């Protein structure tokens, strides 16, 4: 396998982008990444696009070819592939691009992720999100996507004594980080009290425990690491890539308080990279709900099972903590345009490792991690990134 | 709007809690599958359809206030993950009780109820929900 580097990144503002279409946001992230990499269209060998549900959000399928076309790549007839794994679509698109370059099949690959969620109503949006769960044996019986995460939260609180306040602390931290990110959907700090008094969605989770519906796109440019120095001042290497699956329905898992797919994807990525948890200084994890971040930091091995709530409360996951978790604001505050999220995580880690994160810069960041989840944990993709010393 | 067969083909399980027993490992599971997720190939030809008793205990629960199609549910409503007596786990609504009566470990049993309807003239979908198993003179449970 060849070593793979990231030589360009691009991201749109995340939020309710009513005046922008799906194709417009997809292209603007792609163009920014290509410009950052200082390459032009004829250099690009392949395109991967992470997208969960354009068919239901904007009634448009076949978005791989669409993005290639509007990016001006149709004349070159490059292979353009859409990748879908619900919330993990973006991370999985990155992994497909990584494999294409590592294998020697392609040299320069653009990986994008995009979702346009606000062209449908809030209820429709949450029904589409719940299609990541088991439609026949969960959703049809009346459980929502938030409801499934509430079942996890209730059980985690029961087994480990995780408190309602500790869940709130995840949202408070991520809003604080988001306030420092000019691309974030929510750039205002909130207090614990705001979370605890927000409307109930599905007990114990309230409105401020849930990531919003968002429009947005992100893109990265990959190439063989040995060529990366020609294109980028500071190329960042993807040193580990791990993917794992699990049962589609939450009730068929070995343990609903642990995402086994996170544990295994992380194990595979760390093994490939030859790194350990203590080497990681900055991590973007899939906080679609506050409880999800608690599970993530435990299952990635940063904290022991049951200690995630306490670690958050003690500030160990803040910018200046043991490991800075979701320096971008995470899904909660940066926003969660589903297919874009996994790629946006990589954009944040590259920004941090380049030392270009301004006010939210994590000191001496040299190794970063991303964890991207589909459904309630039926697909997980973990990547590890390193700056050349 | 989905066609009727989309729901109809699962009716034996939705109406009668038909799951399966794997005669390779002895585990019960719900809903039916072609092979046992634990034994895989060893279970071929050893999957026995079984009607589950429909009684069990709440493993986890939540009261949902937002996010569902309002046409089909009265909000708020309770959803639980239930561990059936045979060991299979299922998810469903808990009805005819107050959320404050329910805890992890509370005993429940299956009841056949309307799940949803597709508009005023469309197909009505039925399936299982759970009711509280009450002790004492009011019990047991459903009706």
Neighbours of A164 (CB within 10 A): 18
Residues B91, A138: C-beta atoms closer than 8 Å? yes
CA distance A184 to A197: 23
Distance (Å, whole) CA A376 – CA A300: 16
Residue appearing with tokens 């949450």: A126
Q: Enter the tokens of residue A105.
A: 């099949």
Nearest to B23 by CA among B50, B46, B1, B56: B46
Residues A226 and A260 in one domain: no
Do A176 and A293 belong together in one domain? yes
d(CA A45, CA B24): 50
Contact assessment for residue A187 and residue A177, using Cβ atoms and an 8 Å cutoff:
no
Interface A–B counts its CB contacts (< 8 A) at 110
* Residue B71: count of CB within 10 angstroms of its CB: 11
Q: Which domain holds residue A45?
A: 4-121+214-236
CA–CA separation, A298 and A309 (whole Å) = 9
> What string of DSSP letters covers B45-83?
T-EEEEE---EEEEEEEEEE-SSS-TTT-PSSEEEEEEE
B77/A142 CB distance under 8 A: yes
Residue with tokens 């791990």, as numbered in its chain: A242
Cα separation, B34 vs B23, in Å, equals 13
- A42 CA to chain B: closest CA distance, Å? 45
Q: Are residues A150 and A57 in the same domain?
A: no
Is A177 in the same domain as A321? yes
pLDDT exceeding 70 applies to what percent of chain B?
A: 92
A198 with A333, same domain: the answer is yes
Asked if residues B108 and B80 have their Cβ atoms less than 8 Å apart, the reply is yes
Chain B residue with the nearest C-alpha to that of A137: B91
| Whether residues A133 and A249 fall in one domain | yes
Buried-state track B83-103, b at ≥16 Cβ within 10 A, e below 16: bbebebbbbbbbbebeeeebe
| Nearest-angstrom CA–CA distance, A302 and A311 | 10
pTM here is 0.97
Q: What are the residues of chain A with a beta carbon less than 8 Å away from any beta carbon of chain B? A: 123, 126-127, 136-138, 140-148, 150-155, 158, 199-205, 207, 247, 249-252, 256
Ordered DSSP codes for A238-288: EEEEEEEE--SSGGGSS-TTS-HHHHHHHHHHHHHHT--GGG--EEE---S
CA distance A147 to A132: 13
Structurally, chain A folds into a number of domains equal to: 2
**How far off is chain B from A134, nearest CA to CA, in Å?**
11
Characterize the bridge pairing of strands B18-22 and B47-51.
antiparallel
pLDDT of residue B143: 41
DSSP symbols for A319-388: TTSSSEE-TT-HHHHT---HHHHHHHHHHHHHHHHTT--GGGPPTT--EEEEEEEETTTTEEEEEEEEE-
Residue B10 CA: distances (Å) to CA of A140, A144, B17, B19, B32: 12, 20, 10, 11, 10
Question: Does A277 lie in the same domain as A150?
Answer: yes
Token pair for A224: 């063989």
- What architecture is the B53-143 domain classified under in CATH? Beta Barrel (2.40)
Is A58 in the same domain as A180? no
Each residue's pLDDT expressed in tens, for chain A with a length of 389 residues: 999 999 999 999 999 999 999 999 999 999 999 999 999 989 999 999 999 999 999 999 999 999 999 998 888 899 999 999 999 999 999 999 999 999 999 999 999 999 999 999 988 998 999 999 999 999 989 999 999 999 999 999 999 999 999 999 999 999 999 999 999 999 999 999 999 999 999 999 999 999 999 999 999 999 999 999 999 999 999 999 999 999 999 999 999 999 999 999 999 999 999 999 999 999 999 999 999 999 999 999 999 999 999 999 999 999 999 999 999 999 999 999 999 999 999 999 999 999 999 999 999 999 999 999 999 999 999 999 999 86
Q: Which of A187, A188, A192, A200 is nearest to A167 (CA)?
A: A192
C-alpha dihedral, B105 to A206 to A373 to A188, nearest 10°: -150
Q: What is the pLDDT of residue B70?
A: 62
Contact A140 B116 (CB under 8 A): yes
- B11 versus B71: the higher-pLDDT residue is B11
Q: From B70, which residue of chain A is nearest by alpha-carbon distance?
A: A123
Tokens standing for residue A27: 């292209």
Residue A232 sits in the same domain as residue A344: no
Both A133 and A279 in one domain: the answer is yes
Given phi > 0 = left and psi -120 to 50 = alpha, else beta, which region is A306? left
Kindly report the nearest CA distance between residue B135 and chain A, in angstroms. 25
The tens digit of pLDDT for each residue in B5-47 reads: 887 888 888 999 999 999 999 999 999 999 999 999 999 999 9
Beta pairing class for B124-132 and B107-117: antiparallel
Q: Which of A144, A153, A158 sits opposite B104 (nearest CB)?
A: A158
Pair (A166, A69) in one structural domain: no
Distance, CA of A220 to CA of A10 (rounded, Å): 6
In the block, tokens 């999100």 appear at: A129
Look at residue B142 and tell me whether its pLDDT is greater than 50.
no
Sheet of B47-51, strand order: B28-29, B18-22, B47-51
Q: Residue B27: its chain A contacts at CB < 8 A?
A: none
Q: Which two tokens stand for residue B77?
A: 């409503």
Quote the CA–CA distance of A216 and A183 in Å, as a whole number.
10
Contact B127 A141 (CB under 8 A): yes
CB contact at 8 A, A139 and A236: no
Q: Is the dihedral of CA A19, A22, A24, A26 positive or negative?
A: positive
A238: Cβ contacts below 8 Å, ≥ 6 apart: A4, A5, A6, A94, A98, A222, A383, A384, A385
Residues A161 and A292 in one domain: yes
Q: Please, what is the average pLDDT of chain B? A: 89
Nearest to A154 among B60, B67, B128 (CB): B60
Residues of B with CB under 8 A from a CB of A: 7, 10, 31, 37, 59-70, 72-73, 76-77, 79-81, 89-93, 99, 104, 115-116, 125, 127-129
Sequence spans of domains, chain B: 13-52, 53-143
* Residue pair A3/A237 in contact by the 8 Å Cβ criterion: yes
C-alpha to C-alpha distance for A315 and B38, rounded to whole angstroms: 40
CA B65/CA A52 separation, integer angstroms? 26
Q: What is the CATH number of the domain that holds A105?
A: 3.40.47.10
How large is the ipTM? 0.95
- Give me the half-sphere count of Cα atoms (radius 13 Å) on the Cβ side of residue A44: 32
The separation between the first and the last C-alpha atoms of chain A, rounded to the nearest angstrom, is 22
């Amino acid at each position: 396998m060849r070593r793979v580097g990231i030589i360009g990144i691009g991201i749109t503002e995340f939020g309710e982008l009513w005046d922008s279409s799906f194709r417009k946001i997809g292209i603007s992230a792609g163009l920014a990444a290509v410009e950052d990499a200082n390459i032009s269209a004829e250099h690009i060998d392949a395109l991967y696009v992470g997208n969960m549900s354009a068919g239901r959000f904007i009634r448009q399928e076949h978005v791989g070819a669409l993005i290639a076309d509007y990016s001006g790549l149709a004349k070159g007839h490059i292979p353009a592939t859409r990748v879908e794994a619900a919330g993990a679509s973006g991370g999985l698109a990155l992994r497909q691009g990584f494999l294409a370059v590592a294998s020697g099949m392609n040299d320069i690959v653009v990986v994008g992720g995009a979702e346009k969620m606000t062209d449908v109503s809030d209820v429709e949006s949450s029904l589409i999100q719940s299609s990541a769960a088991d439609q026949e044996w969960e959703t049809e019986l009346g459980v929502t996507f938030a409801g499934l995460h509430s079942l996890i939260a209730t059980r985690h609180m029961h087994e480990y004594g995780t408190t309602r306040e500790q869940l709130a602390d995840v949202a408070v931290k991520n809003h604080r980080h988001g306030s420092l990110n000019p691309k974030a959907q929510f750039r205002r700090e909130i207090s614990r009290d705001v979370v605890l008094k927000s409307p109930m969605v599905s007990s114990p989770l309230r409105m401020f425990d849930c990531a919003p519906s968002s429009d947005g796109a992100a893109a990265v440019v990959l190439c063989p690491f040995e060529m990366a120095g020609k294109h980028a001042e500071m190329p960042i290497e993807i040193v580990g890539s791990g993917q794992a699956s699990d049962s589609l329905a939450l009730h068929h898992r070995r343990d609903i308080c642990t995402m086994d797919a996170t544990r295994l994807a992380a194990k595979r990525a760390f093994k490939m990279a030859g790194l350990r948890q203590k080497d990681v200084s900055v991590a973007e994890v899939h906080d679609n709900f506050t409880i999800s971040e608690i599970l993530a930091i435990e299952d990635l091995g940063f904290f022991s099972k049951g200690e995630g709530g306490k670690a958050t409360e003690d500030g160990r996951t803040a910018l200046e903590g043991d490991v800075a978790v979701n320096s971008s604001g995470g899904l909660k505050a940066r926003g969660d345009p589903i297919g874009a999220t996994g790629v946006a995580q990589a954009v944040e880690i590259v920004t941090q490792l380049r030392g270009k994160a301004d006010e939210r810069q994590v000191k001496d960041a040299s190794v970063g991690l991303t964890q991207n989840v589909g459904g309630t944990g039926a697909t997980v993709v973990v990547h590890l990134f390193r700056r050349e010393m | 709007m989905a066609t009727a067969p989309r729901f109809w083909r699962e009716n034996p399980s939705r109406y009668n809690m038909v799951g399966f027993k794997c005669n390779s490992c002895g585990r019960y599971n719900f809903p039916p599958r072609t092979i046992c997720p634990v034994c895989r190939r060893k279970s071929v030809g050893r999957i026995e359809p079984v009607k589950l008793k429909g009684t069990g205990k709440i493993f986890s629960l939540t009261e949902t206030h937002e996010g569902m199609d309002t046409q089909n549910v009265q909000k708020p409503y309770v959803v639980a993950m239930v561990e059936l007596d045979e060991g299979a786990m299922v998810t469903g609504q808990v009805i005819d009780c107050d959320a404050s009566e329910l805890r992890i470990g509370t005993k429940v049993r299956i009841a056949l109820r309307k799940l949803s309807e597709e508009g005023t003239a469309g197909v009505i979908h039925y399936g299982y929900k759970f009711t509280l198993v009450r002790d004492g003179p009011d019990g047991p449970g459903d009706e």
